Structure 1
Amino acid sequence: MQLKFFSEPFSVCKVEDYSQVNWEQPYIFTGQTDEEKSLVCPTRCVPVNTTAREDGWSAFRIEGELDFSLIGILAKISGLLADQGISIFALSTFNTDYILIKTNQAAAAKELLKKAGYGVV
């Protein structure tokens, strides 16, 4: 299985609303509940109406389209990282999964994933 590593830093934010989100950016993830509006985006794209944010995230994408019937892909990767004390923030799209890791642990995560047999590009 191939994972693509993104060198661009990401931020996880809470926003007042989505009016200032630059939807033309290739990596914009949103989530809304009755309690909050969340945004994950490249750090350079964080809007000014952010009410809370955490910077310093790096991202991996599982390459290819994952069929919904596949079981345990994210669980295996997250378990492997958790066993080494590396926490994740996971995001899913229709096609695949993204795994965010604090940037200060990204090099260790890449090495660990390679040793476990994942291709990391």
Structure 2
Amino acid sequence: MELKKIPHRLTVCKVKEISDIDMGAEIYFIGKTDEELSLVCITENTPSDTIERDDGWRGFRIQGTLDFSLVGILAKISGILADHKISIFAVSTYNTDYILVKEENFDRALSILGAEGYTII
């Protein structure tokens, strides 16, 4: 299975309103519930007026389109990283899963996953 590195530094934050988000940005993930409006974005695109923010994330995606019948792909990757004390922030889209780790763990996470048979691109 191939894991493709995202070349950007990322920020996870909470914003006040959807209008604060740059919808023209190359990459962003929005999550809205009755309690919050969360955003993952390229650090340079982080809205200036956030409620909370956590910089210093890097990420990779499982390359290709994953069929909904596939089971355990994210669980396996997160389990491998958990065994090495690397926490993750996962985001899923219709096509695939994205895994974010803190920047200081990024190279080590990819090295560990490479040793476990994943191809890093």
So what's the TM-score if we normalise by structure 2? 0.98
Mapped pair 1:35 → 2:26: no
After TM superposition, the structure 1 stretch with the greater mean CA deviation from structure 2, 20-29 or 37-46, is 20-29
Mapped pair 1:91 → 2:81: no
Mapped pair 1:73 → 2:73: yes
Match of 2:102 in 1: 102
After TM superposition, the structure 1 stretch with the greater mean CA deviation from structure 2, 71-80 or 40-49, is 40-49
Alpha-carbon shift at residue 26 of structure 1 (Å): 2.1
Alpha-carbon shift at residue 23 of structure 1 (Å): 1.0
Task: Report the secondary structure of 1:7's partner residue.
Answer: coil
User: Which stretches of structure 1, 4 residues or more, deviate above 3 A after TM superposition?
Assistant: none
Alpha-carbon shift at residue 48 of structure 1 (Å): 1.7
Mapped pair 1:50 → 2:84: no
Task: Report the secondary structure of 1:57's partner residue.
Answer: strand
Q: Is the 8 A contact 1:17 1:49 kept in 2?
A: no
Between the aligned partners of 1:113 and 1:17, the Cα distance in structure 2 is: 37
Between the aligned partners of 2:43 and 2:5, the Cα distance in structure 1 is: 16
* One-letter amino acid of the structure 2 residue matched with residue 42 of structure 1: I
Between the aligned partners of 2:35 and 2:8, the Cα distance in structure 1 is: 29
Structure 1 unaligned blocks of 5 or more: none
Structure 2 unaligned blocks of 5 or more: none
* One-letter amino acid of the structure 2 residue matched with residue 37 of structure 1: L
CA RMSD of aligned residues (A): 0.7
So what's the TM-score if we normalise by structure 1? 0.98
Mapped pair 1:117 → 2:117: yes
After TM superposition, the structure 1 stretch with the greater mean CA deviation from structure 2, 17-26 or 96-105, is 17-26
1:66-92 per-position Cα deviation (integer Å, ceiling 9, x unaligned)? 000000000000000000000000000
Between the aligned partners of 1:24 and 1:92, the Cα distance in structure 2 is: 20
